[in-house]
Amino acid sequence: MTVRTLLKMGDPRLLRVAQPVPSLSADFLPQLLQDLLDTMVAAHGAGLAAPQIGEDWQVVIFGSGQPNPRYPDAPVVPYTVLINPVIEPLGDAMEDGWEGCLSVPGLRGLVPRYRRIRYTGWGAHGEHIEREVEGFHARVVQHECDHLLGRLYPTRMTDLTRLGYTDVLFPGLDAGEDD
Ligand code: NI
């Protein structure tokens, strides 16, 4: 069990384009995946990307298979490991939704994302993953994969008047340990 330090906005390591994982049997993968999971669970995150713990690899995890106390109204997303992910929008439709980020603690912002996407990548056991998803699931994947491009959600916002503190925007929401 290793809960790693989360990098916060302003750290230049969050602005790098992450490197592709060279092999699904790379030595560092099992420990990296375990650290990501331990850290995401401890922080009550909806997802986590390797750059957020300072690891410069194209690896994200998201979902839990259970409701998330930080997003009580969101549909349940299955726990997923994605290595070297690729996202393809399905259609041009965009949708605004509120996002937080463990690297931007205490804040939420209204972010436009593609409503429907197809994503592909590899799972924890080297299996190929290909899914077509929409709504919150699609949003989480776009948010996490943006970390691999060195993008944090405020850089995707089109109206910065919709960026604010979680406890002001959503008073009474049990935001868990942090945002
Ligand atoms: Ni994030």
**35 pLDDT band (50/70/90 cuts)?**
very high
Residue 138 buriedness (CB in 10 A; 0-12 / 13-18 / 19+): buried
- Phi–psi pair at 146, nearest 5 degrees: -60, -35
The active-site residue out of 130, 132, 134, 144 is 144
Report, at the CATH architecture level, how domain 12-169 is classified.
Alpha-Beta Complex (3.90)
Give the model's confidence band at 178: pLDDT under 50 very low, under 70 low, under 90 confident, else very high. very low
Find the largest Cα–Cα distance for the chain. 46
Tokens matching residue 163 = 């960026």
pLDDT surpasses 70 at 106: yes
Is 55 considered catalytic here? no
pLDDT the model gives residue 174: 59
What's the average model confidence in pLDDT over 21-36? Answer: 97
Question: Which residue ranges make up each domain of the chain?
Answer: 12-169
- Give tens-digit pLDDT for 49-73: 999 999 999 999 999 888 777 777 7
User: What is the model's pTM?
Assistant: 0.94
How many A from CA of 125 to the centre of ligand 1?
24
Percent of the chain's residues with pLDDT above 90: 88
